[in-house]
């Protein structure tokens, strides 16, 4: 038998008395792609953080159990040591320095240097950076993923999908790499980007690199993984070969119950309804997702889907309207013009936004869940405030009650409304973002990639919730998503964006072929041909 590249035995971990891993075993062979699946908060990231020696583990009292690399027991206490053992990790949250260029990020702490006069006396820390060779390396790593990206761009402002590839490029650039941990790498990618990534993973594994892969997209698991470990509430509930597994079976194992697919029974017809939001010739300068003149009407009470390939601007529309990126054009809500480039006036006119970029929406990581949920409503709508004499202070009781309601409705897995959002698992942070937008009680809700990083069970909850909001409260919803299936399951109509322009709007029952043609811009191609 081959010696396992990685073996973790009896791993247990407690966070402040909360047992999040209970004697977990995991084994990965050389060149194997091993998938780790489980609900939000099941402990996947925690297990990987242990393996990678993340400071958060040490700072919260360490862990129990043993880790073996290539058969030898190792004691990994810092990321540096993990790297020395050939482990690379792409974290669930971004680990890129926004002010650094792509090259600088890829080569972070592994810079290529050349000796100079000073370094001869004071050691290699004073060696000069060799930017030319660093750029060459960065280019090489990016090329391995077929990514055409200027390696001297600053990371700040890159679209999230690109950031993800930069992170993977950073790991690929490590020559000693033989075990790659990918914590939800595809969550921020579109289907086609994800596809590219899966192929890169396969290529790497054929070169002998073992990969530990966490994802909530179960079909990806079946596509690339050799073996699958399913975690539920910190325990391994199953280990299976992916050849023998099915999506339904995995989903059931993860959640412990059966899950049906969301679909709406009744859909709105958009005829004879007047538009609540009219977008005219909108241009948005969002790097990598720029919009070049979109005109679109959103009907009252509908759920409008916006789809398209990455980089074509579907993400830019909501970001532009909400004033997060410089934009021009005009947007009318109920016939009144909404000021662009002003997040406040967008909020005040009754729009709310769940961003695809959780960092951008500004979760206050050092604050409690309840405060995060309430803060925007307090600021822009004077909610949750009570008057005491002249001062207006936060009404903590109302905030708590509201937060508890949200936690229940969205199934946010936490120890209570006063838990810091930093201590939530990634998917549960996403749910807090949604709760925050809902608290504004918007008449139009923009949601971008709402189910990104959310497990199958929670995904259903979120989609159901959107439908309920729409049906019961009459909220008009504009949902941007890279998953066509998701758009189809709840939308009334789906607008496809191509090269920053509206390519066409299709009903949900249009064929795959039609959607594909629109996304690839075939239609406008033929139009040009004809004229």
Partner 1 sequence: MTEQQKNTLPVTETRLERKKEPFDPGYFLRKNVVPIFFLVLCIIGGYYSGLSLPFLANEIITRMARNSFLVISLIIPILAGMGLNFGIVLGAMAGQFAYVVTVNWEMAGLSGFLMTCILSVPLAIVFGWLTGRLFNRAKGKEMISGIILGFFANGLYQLVCLFFMGRIIPIRVPSMLLSTGVGLRNTLDIKAMHYALDNIWKVRIKIPGFVFPIMIPMATIAVIVVLCLFIRFIVKTKLGQEFRAVGQDRHIAEVAGIKVDRVRIIAIIFSTVLAGLGQVIFLQNLGNINTYGSHVQVGTFAVAAILIGGASVKKATISQALLGTLLFHTLFIVSPLAGKNLVGDAMIGEYFRVFVTYGVIGIALALHAWQSLQQRKTVTVEAASEPVSGGGK
Ligand X SMILES: Nc1ncnc2c1ncn2[C@@H]1O[C@H](COP(=O)(O)OP(=O)(O)OP(=O)(O)O)[C@@H](O)[C@H]1O
Interaction residues for partner 1, span 201-220 (CB under 8 A): none
Question: Is 294 in contact with 497 (CB distance < 8 Å)?
Answer: yes
Q: Using CA atoms, how far apart are residues 376 and 363, in angstroms rounded to an integer?
A: 11
Q: Using CA atoms, how far apart are residues 167 and 17, in angstroms rounded to an integer?
A: 33
Size of the site for ligand X (CB under 6 A): 22
Question: Is 458 in contact with 439 (CB distance < 8 Å)?
Answer: no
- List binders of Mg ion among 41-60 (CB under 5 A): 45
Does position 270 interact with Mg ion (CB under 5 A)? The reply is no
Does position 515 interact with partner 1 (CB under 8 A)? The reply is yes
Determine the angle formed by the axes of helices 396-410 and 369-381, rounding to 10 degrees. 120
DSSP string across 333-357: ETTEEEPTT-HHHHHHTTEEEE-S-
Per residue in 124-149, is it b (16+ CB within 10 Å) or e — as a string?
A: eeebeeebeebbebbbebbeebebeb
Question: Is 458 in contact with 411 (CB distance < 8 Å)?
Answer: yes
Q: Using CA atoms, how far apart are residues 490 and 475, in angstroms rounded to an integer?
A: 14
**β-strand pairing of 336-338 with 385-388:** unpaired
- List binders of ligand X among 85-114 (CB under 6 A): 92
User: Exactly one of 4, 6, 11, 20 binds ligand X (CB under 6 A); which one?
Assistant: 20
Size of the site for partner 1 (CB under 8 A): 92
Task: Show the site string, 194-223: x = touches ligand X by CB under 6 A, - = not.
Answer: ------------------------------
User: Exactly one of 33, 43, 351, 358 binds ligand X (CB under 6 A); which one?
Assistant: 43
- List binders of partner 1 among 455-474 (CB under 8 A): none
User: Exactly one of 190, 215, 368, 428 binds ligand X (CB under 6 A); which one?
Assistant: 428
What's the length of the chain? Answer: 531
User: Exactly one of 18, 77, 78, 176 binds partner 1 (CB under 8 A); which one?
Assistant: 78
Does position 499 interact with partner 1 (CB under 8 A)? The reply is yes
Q: Closest distance between Mg ion and the C-beta of residue 354, in Å? A: 19
- Secondary structure class of 492 (helix, strand, coil): coil
Nearest Cα to Cα of residue 106 among 19, 169, 152 = 169
| 61: exposed, middle or buried (Cβ count in 10 Å: 0-12, 13-18, 19+) | exposed
Task: Show the site string, 138-177: x = touches partner 1 by CB under 8 A, - = not.
Answer: -------xxxxxx-xx--xxx-xxx-xx------------
**Which of Mg ion, ligand X, partner 1, none sits in contact with 38, Cβ below 5 to 8 A by type?**
ligand X
Does position 56 interact with ligand X (CB under 6 A)? The reply is yes
**Which of Mg ion, ligand X, partner 1, none sits in contact with 290, Cβ below 5 to 8 A by type?**
partner 1
Does position 278 interact with Mg ion (CB under 5 A)? The reply is no
User: Exactly one of 24, 37, 46, 497 binds ligand X (CB under 6 A); which one?
Assistant: 46
Task: Show the site string, 454-483: x = touches ligand X by CB under 6 A, - = not.
Answer: -x----------------------------
User: Exactly one of 188, 294, 306, 338 binds partner 1 (CB under 8 A); which one?
Assistant: 188
Q: Going by C-beta distance under 8 Å and a sequence separation of 6 or more, which residues neighbour residue 244?
A: none
Q: Closest distance between partner 1 and the C-beta of residue 274, in Å? A: 31
CA dihedral 15, 21, 25, 29 (to 10 degrees): -70
Identify any residues that bridge with 241 across adjacent strands, giving them in sequence order. Answer: 227
Question: Is 359 in contact with 94 (CB distance < 8 Å)?
Answer: yes
- List binders of partner 1 among 361-400 (CB under 8 A): 362-363, 365
Does position 98 interact with partner 1 (CB under 8 A)? The reply is yes
Identify any residues that bridge with 354 across adjacent strands, giving them in sequence order. Answer: 447
- List binders of Mg ion among 409-428 (CB under 5 A): 425-426
User: Exactly one of 96, 407, 458, 496 binds partner 1 (CB under 8 A); which one?
Assistant: 96
User: Exactly one of 359, 386, 397, 526 binds partner 1 (CB under 8 A); which one?
Assistant: 359
Does position 161 interact with Mg ion (CB under 5 A)? The reply is no
- List binders of partner 1 among 42-71 (CB under 8 A): 54-55
Q: Using CA atoms, how far apart are residues 158 and 145, in angstroms rounded to an integer?
A: 17
Q: Closest distance between partner 1 and the C-beta of residue 151, in Å? A: 10
Q: In the complex with partner 1, which residue's Cβ is closer, 50 or 276?
A: 50
- Give ∠ CA 365-366-372 in degrees, rounded to 5: 60
Q: Going by C-beta distance under 8 Å and a sequence separation of 6 or more, which residues neighbour residue 267?
A: 492, 508
- List binders of ligand X among 439-458 (CB under 6 A): 455
Residues in touch with Mg ion (CB under 5 A): 45, 92, 425-426
Residues in touch with ligand X (CB under 6 A): 15-16, 20, 38, 40-46, 56, 60, 92, 413, 423-428, 455
């Amino acid at each position: 038998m081959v010696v396992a590249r990685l073996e973790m035995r009896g791993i247990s971990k407690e966070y402040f008395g909360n047992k999040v891993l209970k004697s977990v075993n995991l084994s990965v062979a050389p060149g194997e792609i091993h998938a780790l699946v489980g609900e939000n908060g099941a402990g996947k990231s925690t297990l990987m953080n242990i393996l990678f020696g993340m400071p958060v583990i040490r700072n919260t009292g360490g862990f129990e159990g043993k880790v073996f690399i290539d058969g030898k027991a190792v004691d990994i206490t810092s990321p540096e040591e993990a790297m020395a053992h050939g482990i690379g990790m792409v974290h669930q949250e971004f680990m890129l320095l926004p002010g650094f260029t792509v090259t600088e990020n890829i080569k972070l702490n592994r810079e290529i240097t050349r000796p100079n006069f000073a370094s001869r006396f004071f050691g290699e820390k004073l060696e000069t950076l060799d930017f030319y060779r660093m750029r060459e390396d960065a280019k090489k790593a990016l090329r391995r993923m077929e990514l055409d990206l200027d390696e001297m761009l600053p990371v700040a402002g890159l679209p999230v999908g690109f950031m993800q590839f930069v992170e993977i490029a950073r790991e690929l650039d490590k020559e000693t790499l033989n075990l790659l941990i990918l914590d939800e790498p595809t969550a921020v990618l579109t289907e086609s980007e994800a596809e590219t990534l899966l192929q890169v993973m396969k290529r790497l594994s054929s070169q002998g690199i073992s990969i530990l892969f966490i994802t909530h997209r179960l079909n990806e698991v079946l596509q690339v993984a050799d073996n699958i470990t399913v975690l539920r509430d910190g325990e391994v509930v199953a280990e299976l070969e992916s050849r023998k597994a099915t999506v339904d079976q995995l989903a059931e194992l993860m959640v412990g119950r059966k899950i049906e697919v969301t679909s709406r029974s009744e859909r709105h017809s958009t005829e004879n309804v007047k538009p609540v939001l009219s977008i005219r010739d909108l241009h948005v300068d969002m790097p990598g997702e720029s919009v070049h003149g979109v005109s679109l009407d959103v009907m009252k009470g509908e759920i409008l889907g916006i789809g398209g390939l990455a980089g074509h601007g579907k993400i830019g529309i909501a970001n532009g309207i909400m004033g997060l990126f410089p934009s021009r054009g005009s947007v009318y809500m109920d016939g009144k013009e909404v000021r662009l480039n002003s997040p406040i006036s967008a909020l005040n006119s009754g729009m709310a936004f769940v961003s695809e970029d959780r960092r951008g929406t500004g979760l206050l990581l050092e604050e409690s869940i309840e405060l995060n949920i309430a803060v925007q409503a307090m600021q822009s709508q004077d909610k949750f405030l009570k008057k005491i004499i002249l001062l207006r202070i936060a009404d903590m009781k109302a905030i708590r009650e509201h937060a508890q309601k949200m936690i229940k409705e969205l199934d946010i897995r936490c120890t209570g409304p006063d838990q810091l959002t930093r201590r939530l698992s990634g998917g549960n942070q996403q749910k807090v973002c949604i709760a925050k937008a809902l608290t504004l009680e918007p008449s139009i809700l923009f949601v971008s990639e709402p189910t990104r990083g959310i497990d199958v069970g929670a995904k259903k909850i979120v989609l159901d919730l959107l439908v309920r909001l729409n049906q019961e409260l009459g909220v008009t919803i504009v949902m941007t998503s890279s998953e066509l299936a998701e758009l189809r399951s709840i939308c009334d109509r789906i607008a496809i964006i191509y090269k920053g322009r509206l390519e066409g709007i299709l009903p949900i029952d249009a064929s795959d072929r039609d959607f594909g043609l629109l996304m690839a811009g075939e239609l406008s191609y033929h139009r040009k041909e004809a004229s």
